[in-house]
Amino acid sequence: MPYSGNGMIGFAPLNNYIDGYNYREYIELSFSKQLSCGNTYHFEGYFNLANLCRYSLKGFEFYFSEKEINNENDYLYNLYTPQVVDTTTWVLDTLNWVKITFDFVADKLYSFVTIGNIKSTSSADYIDFNPLALGQQYYSYYYLDGVTLTQVKESQIEIPNVFTPNDDGLNDVFQPIGEVAYFENLLIFNRWGNEVANLSYPFQWNGTTQNGNEALEGVYFYLLNSNEGCKQEQKQGMIHLIR
């Protein structure tokens, strides 16, 4: 019976028929609206193990992408790196639906999610759940239903305008606060427009220049640039370094 409505979808995320044979199936879903960088989304989906399956899989993987995956191979393992891996849920129930849920912060303008097992069979986490299975005796086969992805938090970034890098343990580092993982770099300039620091995530500036010297006390300018996977976005302003 479906979890809700009149239908559900089935797929085989694991095949253990021949050692090294990594055939598997995936579910790719498209979003009704493109995700926004920095926003937090809540995923919820319900899984059910098919009757007469021999294997149960642990570690369903979720790969978010900007474009639809078109791959002529029977597998995706080692081709993509999933952003989310559920490492806690054994879906062993053939009668009831098991919920998998997580929160996800978009770092690109994603439009699709692919669900399945991107690991090779030799590295997948599975158990021989029903060794006497006569039906799908080489497969792990699941049904999926009730998938939702809901925005639960909009990106909010706070950028301080004063810091005091004097090693007293208080306000020693200049750093943007909030969901900033989708930004590419943070540039710091002095009042003459010379670059004094070029920082990657998590964008912490301790008040030193690129050659390792202490930056002089005064006003500096920052430029925070988003990565190529997001709409071009910049945040800029002034910071006051006080020693």
The answer to whether the beta carbons of residues 47 and 144 sit under 8 Å apart is yes
Can you give the pLDDT at residue 62? 97
Which residues in the chain show pLDDT less than 70? 16-22, 72-78, 133-138, 232
Spatial separation of the C-alpha atoms in residues 103 and 113, rounded to whole Å: 14
Whether the link from the prior residue into 202 is cis, omega within 30° of 0, is: yes
Spatial separation of the C-alpha atoms in residues 64 and 110, rounded to whole Å: 6
The DSSP bridge partners found for residue 14 are 140
Token pair of 196 as six digits: 């004094």
Tell me which residue of 74, 101, 102, 67 sits closest to 12, measured CA to CA: 74
Question: Per-residue pLDDT tens for 74-96?
Answer: 566 667 899 999 988 889 888 99
Fold classification of 9-153 (topology level): Jelly Rolls (2.60.120)
List, edge to edge, every strand of the sheet that includes 27-30: 27-30, 112-116, 61-65, 84-85
Can you give the pLDDT at residue 227? 78
Fold classification of 157-241 (topology level): Immunoglobulin-like (2.60.40)
Give Cα 48 to chain centroid, integer Å: 24
C-alpha distances in Å from residue 52, one per residue of 55, 93, 94, 138? 9, 12, 9, 10
Where are the domains positioned within the chain?
Answer: 9-153, 157-241
